[in-house]
């Protein structure tokens, strides 16, 4: 197991550099008829640049595509907006790529651009943050959204002794994944056992470090009795961890959510964030890479019941997701002081 971690780690580190270089403006190899040497071209668009989680997800996608002999195009706009992603989709359509995988900044706004891509024969899927069922052929989901939402409320409740004011520090107000998880948090909070917990605010740090810091500071100022923060975003939780640490609020305002072990280890070890959850972002991207390839090869069409082989992740099946379909990676994983030292080296 440890040997596997070490190999994985080396691969991930080597690819970080490559991924980091390819997220800015399109390069010549991105252009139509570029130097793809007849290889199929698979594009991934993340929410925005500057997010280490997004870099890991794109790395996983690139690993999969290269294992499969294709060319990966990694993209992310500077700002986490739908408009910026639409522009990138339009560019990819004119470059006649074979597949587009998108981590959506809005569930509905990308629909015309993605439909245009599908009409042009490009295979379209979402991962991590979904587009609506009409805008995609399949969605690659990190874990069951209900479990992700509920488990974070259960955690904060335990941390604050079931009583007091809590707030959510999210990504953007349009982010499909965070909004779905927050809906499940609210459903969990309806249970009478949480009658003494009050959700006072959902704040949006837009997955930008500085905005997430200032939104955390604003929460602390506006709600001086605040007992806990749930940040279901790796950018938000790391920013909140820093603010709570700098202000000496460890043990006074508790923190949990979804965090990248490499960014959160110091706060988990110090007790500012006693525990948190996530999944392997490299695997989310890797699974999307294999799913994109299966769509291009016609092994799957995106219908529930379709089956394919996802490299080192083994056999995967397309399942129903509301009006659409999805492929599930696995379960959220709990990170705490007992395992964080090991995981922080991996992602």
Applying CB under 6 A, which residues contact ligand RAM? 47, 51, 53, 103, 128-129, 171, 177, 207, 233-235, 258
Rounded-to-integer distance, Cα 56 and Cα 279, Å? 11
**Which residue, 42 or 277, is less far from ligand RAM as judged by CB?**
277
Q: Centre a 10 Å sphere on the Cβ of residue 264 and count the other Cβ atoms it contains.
A: 26
Give the Cα separation of 169 and 167 in Å (integer).
7
Backbone angles phi, psi at 76, to 5 degrees: -160, 135
Residue number with CB closer to ligand RAM (106 or 128) = 128
Q: What angle do CA 271, 272, 278 make, to 5 degrees?
A: 90
Question: Contacts from 8-17 at CB under 8 Å and sequence distance 24+?
Answer: 8/282, 8/346, 9/345, 9/346, 11/63, 12/56, 12/59, 12/282, 12/346, 12/347, 15/59, 15/62, 15/63, 16/55, 16/59
Helical pair 52-67 and 281-297, crossing angle rounded to 10 deg = 40
Least CB distance to ligand RAM at residue 102 (A): 11
Q: How far is the CB of 56 from ligand RAM (least distance, A)?
A: 9
Nearer to ligand RAM, 52 or 311 (CB): 52
Record the tokens describing residue 81, joined without a space: 């907006």
Nearest in space to 120 (alpha carbons), one of 139, 97, 104: 97
The DSSP bridge pattern shows strands 99-102 and 307-309 to be unpaired
Minimum distance between the CB of residue 50 and ligand RAM, rounded to whole angstroms?
A: 10
Q: Which of 157, 233 has the CB closer to ligand RAM? A: 233
Q: Provide the minimum distance between the beta carbon of 279 and ligand RAM in the complex, in angstroms, as a whole number.
A: 8
Residues in the chain: 347
27 burial via Cβ count (<10 Å: 0-12, 13-18, 19+): exposed
Contacts of 246 (CB under 8 A, 6+ apart): none
Closer to ligand RAM by Cβ: residue 95 or 234: 234
Least CB distance to ligand RAM at residue 217 (A) = 20
Signed CA dihedral, 235, 170, 82, 118: sign only: positive
Q: Which CB atom, from 51 or from 95, has the smaller least distance to ligand RAM? A: 51
In terms of CB distance, is 164 or 281 closer to ligand RAM? 281
**Rounded to the nearest whole angstrom, what is the least distance from the CB of residue 196 to ligand RAM in the complex?**
28
- Residue 38 Cβ vs ligand RAM, minimum distance, rounded to whole Å: 33
104 vs 300 by CB, closer to ligand RAM: 104
Could you tell me the smallest distance in angstroms from the CB atom of residue 103 to ligand RAM?
Answer: 6
- Least distance in Å: CB of 298 to ligand RAM? 29
DSSP string, 91-109: HHHHTT-SEEEE--S-SST
**Inter-residue contact 326 to 138 (CB < 8 Å):** yes
Nearer to ligand RAM, 164 or 285 (CB): 285
Q: For strand 226-231 and strand 164-170, is the pairing parallel, antiparallel, or unpaired?
A: parallel
């Amino acid at each position: 197991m440890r040997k596997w971690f070490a190999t994985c780690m080396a691969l991930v580190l080597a690819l970080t550099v490559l991924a980091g270089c390819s997220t800015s403006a399109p390069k010549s190899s991105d252009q139509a008829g570029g130097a793809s040497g007849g290889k199929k071209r698979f594009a991934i668009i993340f929410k925005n640049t500057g997010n280490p989680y997004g870099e890991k997800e794109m790395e996983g996608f690139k690993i999969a595509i290269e294992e499969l002999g294709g060319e990966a195009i990694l993209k992310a706009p500077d700002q986490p907006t739908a408009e910026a992603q639409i522009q990138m989709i339009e560019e990819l359509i004119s470059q006649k790529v074979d597949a587009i995988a998108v981590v959506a900044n809005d569930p509905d706004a990308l629909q015309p651009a993605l439909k245009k891509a599908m009409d042009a024969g490009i295979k379209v899927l979402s991962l991590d943050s979904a587009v609506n069922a009409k805008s995609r052929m399949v969605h690659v989901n990190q874990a069951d959204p209900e479990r992700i939402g509920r488990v974070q409320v259960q955690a904060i409740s335990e941390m604050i002794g079931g009583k007091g004011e809590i707030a959510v520090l999210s990504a953007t107000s349009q982010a499909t994944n965070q909004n779905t998880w927050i809906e499940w948090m609210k459903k969990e909070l309806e249970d009478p056992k949480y009658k003494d917990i009050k959700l006072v605010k959902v704040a949006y740090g837009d997955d930008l470090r500085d905005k997430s810091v200032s939104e955390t500071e604003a929460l602390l100022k506006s709600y001086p009795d605040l007992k806990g923060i749930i940040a279901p975003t790796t950018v938000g939780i790391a920013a909140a961890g820093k603010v709570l640490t700098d202000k000496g609020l460890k043990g006074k305002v508790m923190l949990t959510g979804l965090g990248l072990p490499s960014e959160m280890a110091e706060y988990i070890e110090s007790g500012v964030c006693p525990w948190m959850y996530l999944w392997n972002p490299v695997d989310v991207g890797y699974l999307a890479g294999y799913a994109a390839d299966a769509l291009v090869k016609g092994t799957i069409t995106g219908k529930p019941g379709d089956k394919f082989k996802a490299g080192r992740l083994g056999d995967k099946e397309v399942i129903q997701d509301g009006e659409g379909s999805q492929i599930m990676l696995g379960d959220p994983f709990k990170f705490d002081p007992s395992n964080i030292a090991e995981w922080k080296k991996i992602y």
